[in-house]
């Protein structure tokens, strides 16, 4: 159960959205057309630039009397500007923070389990899933204005999966309410919420759909029922690849099994192309990735680093048909600790659209990492790599995840 990969189901219309430039207008249009409810989960909810348009849309929906719920992560969104908090709460938006942080939170291993998924469901009919936060493409909370748009993707979905997305979000909402009731000593309220959560989770599985449209599945990672499903879905697709694997991933520090799967695929003649972060963002993720490159380069994997702006994508296309778009990085924080959500897709047209955008980025915006250049990298970089990887391994050891390596 902990590693179950859900079956692909037909009947979906999928629209690939690149960055906030595509995602925000589609999201705002859906919210403005809503007639019943808007539920949103995101790691970061920022209010700078174009992201404010999403906040305005949520306020408008709440003032029309809709059920508007927003869940943000306590680390990704530590604070909301006071003026926006007053506007949203005054309009009736129900806003909750997952795992709020304090000054010493980083010292608690349990605080590393974050809500990193990005989901939205409107009226139970239209869903959004991907890696794009409510954050303007040209703004970064830590680095300020960006020289070029952040490279990222989301998907707009209609079809059977939207109800699965809604149930997933309802389960988290009710679970957070349970903990809130317990903190306030309301045992009766907590028990009632638990019963509601169990009922929502134990709905009979949807019947297979024979509707036309793309085949897709929602695959989750949490610390209860779906602890390894996303990683396993990647490894299964990589193991079945016959011609080509293209992966774009922001924080790429895969575990032993994933690394071996990529090496094995390259050695059996599969073209393996990785588009990875080439612009410094966070010390640990940036430098811990570098020691991984050596074995991959020796096996014939093509590695390209994206540097016009921050690479934030978590996507892949395999053999021109299988594709995934979601929130999960290929690093231990995502694969072992955070709550994540990815869409798996089996559809040639959708995969072709994503493949075209990735190869364009590889060819025009990626810098190839050559094996000879990698072997000659400066001692200073190697020291930073050693420190970053050591810190990451220590963090995993504290979490009891030594087997990842």
* Residues in CB range of 79: below 8 A, 6 or more apart: none
**SS3 label, residue 82:** helix
Cα dihedral 54, 81, 48, 156 sign: negative
- 104 phi and psi angles, rounded to 5 deg: -110, 15
The tokens for 32 are: 């403005």
For the chain, what percent of residues have pLDDT higher than 70? 89
Domain 10-201 matches domain 216-404 at the CATH topology level: yes
From the list 22, 136, 140, 314, the catalytic residue is 314
For the segment 89-148, what is each residue's pLDDT rounded down to a tens digit?
999 999 999 999 877 666 566 678 999 999 999 999 999 999 999 999 999 999 999 999
Dump pLDDT digits (tens) for 346-387.
999 999 999 999 999 999 999 999 999 999 999 999 999 999
Residue 243 structure tokens: 């011609």
The tokens for 381 are 């970089």
Is 302 a catalytic site residue? no
Reading the chain (405 residues) residue by residue, the pLDDT tens digits are 456 899 999 999 999 999 999 999 999 999 999 999 999 999 999 999 999 999 999 999 999 999 999 999 999 999 999 999 999 999 999 999 999 987 766 656 667 899 999 999 999 999 999 999 999 999 999 999 999 999 999 999 999 999 999 999 999 999 998 867 565 454 444 444 445 545 545 554 455 455 679 999 999 999 888 999 999 999 999 999 999 999 999 999 999 999 999 999 999 999 999 999 999 999 999 999 999 999 999 999 999 999 999 999 999 999 999 999 999 999 999 999 999 999 999 999 999 999 999 999 999 999 999 999 999 999 999 999 999 999 999 888 888 787 888
Pick the catalytic residue from 22, 46, 73, 312.
312
CA–CA dist 160, 162 (Å, integer): 6
Active site residue 319: yes
Active site residue 257: no
What is the CATH code for 10-201? 3.30.870.10
123 included as an active-site residue: yes
Helix or strand run (H / E) with residue 309: none
| CA atoms within a 13 Å half-sphere pointing along the CA-CB vector of 38 | 27
pLDDT recorded at residue 189: 45
The token pair that represents 233 in the structure block: 């879905």
Q: Which of 280, 282, 303 is closest to 292 using CA atoms?
A: 303
The yes-or-no answer on residue 118 being catalytic is yes
Q: Which CATH number does the domain 216-404 belong to among 3.30.870.10, 3.30.70.120, 3.40.718.10, 3.40.50.620?
A: 3.30.870.10
252 vs 244: CA distance, rounded Å = 19
Q: Give the distance, in angstroms, between the CA of residue 174 and the centroid of all CA atoms in the same chain.
A: 22
Q: Which two tokens stand for residue 166?
A: 């809604």
User: Which of the residues 32, 67, 302, 319 is marked catalytic?
Assistant: 319
Catalytic one among 12, 46, 116, 222?
116
In b/e form, how buried is each residue of 29-49, taking b as 16+ CB within 10 angstroms?
ebbeebeeebbbbbbbbbbee
CA proximity to 250, closest of 340, 150, 363: 150
pLDDT, residue 111, reads 76
Contacts of 158 (CB under 8 A, 6+ apart): 12, 13, 125, 126, 127
Which candidate in 12, 22, 118, 222 is catalytic? 118
| Domain ranges (residues) in the chain | 10-201, 216-404
312 is catalytic: yes
Q: Which of 123, 137, 152, 331 is catalytic?
A: 123
pLDDT tens-digit series, residues 78-91:
999 999 999 999 99
């Amino acid at each position: 159960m902990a590693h179950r990969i859900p079956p692909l189901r037909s009947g979906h219309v999928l629209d690939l959205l690149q960055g906030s430039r595509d995602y925000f207008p589609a999201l705002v249009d859906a919210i403005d057309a809503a007639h019943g409810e808007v539920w949103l989960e995101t790691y970061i909810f920022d209010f700078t630039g174009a992201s404010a348009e999403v906040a305005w849309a949520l306020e408008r929906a709440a003032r029309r009397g809709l059920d508007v719920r927003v869940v943000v992560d306590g680390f990704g969104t530590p604070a909301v500007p006071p003026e926006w908090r007053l506007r949203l709460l005054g309009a009736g938006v129900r806003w909750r923070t997952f795992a709020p942080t304090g000054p010493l939170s980083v010292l608690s291993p349990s605080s590393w389990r974050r809500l990193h998924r990005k989901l939205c469901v409107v009226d139970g009919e239209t869903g959004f899933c991907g890696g794009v936060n409510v954050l303007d493409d040209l703004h970064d909370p830590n680095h300020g204005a960006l020289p070029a748009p952040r490279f990222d993707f989301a998907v707009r979905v209609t079809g059977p999966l939207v109800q699965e997305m809604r149930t997933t979000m309802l389960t988290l909402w009710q679970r957070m309410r349970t903990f809130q009731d317990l903190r306030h000593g309301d045992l009766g309220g907590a028990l009632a919420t638990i019963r509601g959560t169990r009922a929502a989770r134990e709905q009979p599985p949807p019947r297979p759909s024979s509707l036309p449209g793309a085949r897709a599945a929602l695959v989750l990672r949490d610390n209860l029922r779906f602890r390894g499903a996303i990683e396993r879905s990647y490894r299964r697709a990589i193991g079945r690849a016959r011609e080509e694997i293209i992966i774009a991933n922001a924080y790429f520090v895969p575990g032993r099994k994933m690394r071996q799967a990529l090496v094995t695929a390259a050695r059996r003649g599969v073209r393996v192309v990785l588009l990875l972060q080439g612009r410094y963002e966070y010390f640990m993720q940036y430098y811990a990735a570098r020691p991984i490159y050596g074995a991959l380069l020796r096996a014939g994997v093509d590695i390209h680093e994206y540097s016009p702006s921050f690479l934030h994508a978590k996507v892949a296309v395999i053999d021109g048909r299988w594709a995934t778009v979601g929130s999960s990085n290929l690093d231990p924080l995502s694969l072992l600790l955070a709550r994540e959500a990815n869409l798996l897709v089996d559809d040639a047209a959708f995969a072709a659209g994503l493949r075209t955008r990735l190869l364009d980025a590889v060819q025009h915006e990626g810098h190839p990492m050559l094996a000879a250049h990698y072997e000659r990298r400066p001692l200073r970089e190697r020291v930073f790599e050693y420190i970053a990887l050591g810190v990451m391994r220590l963090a995993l050891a504290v979490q009891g995840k030594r087997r990842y390596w």
